[in-house]
Amino acid sequence: MKKIAFMTGGGDCAGINSFIASAVRHGSQKYGAEFVGIKKAFEGAAADNIEEHLLPLGLPEVLGLEVKPSTILASSRFNPFSPENKEKGYPEKITANLKRLGIDGVLATGGNDTIKSAMGLAELGFPVIAAPKSIDNDVSGTDTMLGFKTAVAFGSQAFRSTVESARTHRRISLVEIMGRDAGWLSLEIGIAGGADLILIPEKPVDLKKLCERIGEVFARQSYVNIAVAEGVRLRNDDPVLESVKKQSPVVAAMVEEDLGWDAHGNPKLGGVGQILRRIIRYQLSLKKLEDVRATDLGFTLRGLPPTADDITLGTRFGTKAVDLLFSGETGKMVGLQGTQIVPVPFKEALAQKTVNWSDEDLSSVGVFFS
Ligand code: F6P
């Protein structure tokens, strides 16, 4: 084992560069390893012109890199193991490319989809160790992952600002936050940001009851703050939704709009805050749409410089990932369990980690469900 390649797949987030910096420092000093980054992850690795996607990474290149946002290696959601890409021979093309470049092992950062591709590569006999990253915090086998803590820190500051403003102007304020199937990010931003109500994908909402609750909170304190995960489930046949669709062509169009799917079969999301804003307005018979404000934190939580938590986690993941690769391990993810960084088999990591608190605990911090 001498030459190691990095791939950083999926949505970008804080802490990926901290991982790269730490792995390069540790691997070159302890094992005399050489490192190269492959830009655009599996898309770059599968390219005919892979040479043009390479970024050599030595000690000088990673100086100060641990504090930089996002990933210096660009990203892609390309899926080499989709049925049609398997048919086109992409998996074999990737291993052939890597071997031709003299690469002995891969260190990948990613969420569930990238880890699935990393597992495919490991199953083809290529040594791979991964580190989990996702602002959604939805990879299993680890207490937290790169990007999450930074997103919560910044997101809760932003949320607090909307709370102050809603109080001053006596408004209802909705903040939409990423989180497709897992509501961890909305949950923690909502708690730390001071939300009155938190809506997460794990807990479907009845719109009539939700609006009643919003009305009650408004009557009590003259303002309401709601954190809503982009993936919150509204029932298509919810009578309130049906009736608002008739009153608002905008809601009808937004609900019907097909935003498409990514290369791994995940639905593209975004916009539920704007839909809910209108539903609340009609259901509470408010005169103006501006009485309900909607803010979308969206991509503001992805390209952030890492906080101390993510620099530390990236640094610990980086050293452990290199040690695992050099001890002959493959098909494993590094995970934080309690205070220890441990190897986790890819299969265990892939189970979606959704919010699993008891209903009592959720409701006591403001999560709404009906
Ligand atoms: O990485 C997961 C995620 O943050 C989801 O919450 C979101 O739906 C998705 O990324 C969107 O990412 P993109 O538009 O960059 O594919």
> pLDDT per residue over 324-334, tens digit each?
999 999 999 99
**What is the best residue among 8, 136, 146, 186 to mutate for testing ligand 1's pocket, by most ligand atoms within 8 Å of CB?**
136
pTM for this entry? 0.97
Question: What is the model's pLDDT at position 236?
Answer: 87
Ligand 1 nearest-atom number relative to CA 262? 16
Question: What is the model's pLDDT at position 370?
Answer: 87
**What is the best residue among 180, 181, 200 to mutate for testing ligand 1's pocket, by most ligand atoms within 8 Å of CB?**
180
Cite the beta strand spans of 137-182 per DSSP E. Answer: 172-177
Going from the Cα of 30 to the center of ligand 1, the distance in angstroms, rounded, reads: 36
Q: What is the mean pLDDT of the chain?
A: 97
**What are the pocket residues of ligand 1 if the criterion is a CB atom closer than 6 Å to any ligand atom?**
10-11, 77, 111, 134-136, 178-180, 262, 269
Question: What is the model's pLDDT at position 1?
Answer: 76
Largest CA distance in the chain: 69
Tens of pLDDT, residue by residue over 37-50, are 999 999 999 999 99
Q: What are phi and psi of 124, to 5 degrees?
A: -85, 5
Structural contact between residues 2 and 34, judged by C-beta atoms closer than 8 angstroms: yes
C-beta atoms surrounding 170 within 10 Å:
12
pLDDT band at residue 218, thresholds of 50, 70 and 90?
very high
Question: What is the model's pLDDT at position 303?
Answer: 97
Tens of pLDDT, residue by residue over 118-174, are 999 999 999 999 999 999 999 999 999 999 999 999 999 999 999 999 999 999 999
Domain range list for the chain: 3-146+306-349, 152-302
Do strands 172-177 and 128-132 pair parallel, antiparallel, or not at all (unpaired)?
Answer: unpaired
Structural contact between residues 21 and 318, judged by C-beta atoms closer than 8 angstroms: yes
Going from the Cα of 11 to the center of ligand 1, the distance in angstroms, rounded, reads: 6
Q: Which two tokens stand for residue 8?
A: 């950083």
CATH fold, domain 3-146+306-349, is: Rossmann fold (3.40.50)
CATH superfamily of 152-302: Phosphofructokinase domain (3.40.50.460)
Structural contact between residues 35 and 4, judged by C-beta atoms closer than 8 angstroms: yes
Tens of pLDDT, residue by residue over 267-289, are 999 999 999 999 999 999 999 99
96-99-104-110 Cα dihedral, nearest 10 degrees: -30
Q: Would the CATH topology of 3-146+306-349 be identical to that of 152-302?
A: yes
Q: Please give the span between the terminal C-alpha atoms of the chain, in angstroms, as a whole number.
A: 55
Rounded Cα distance, 307 and 187, in Å: 19
Residue 361 is among the residues annotated as catalytic for this protein: no
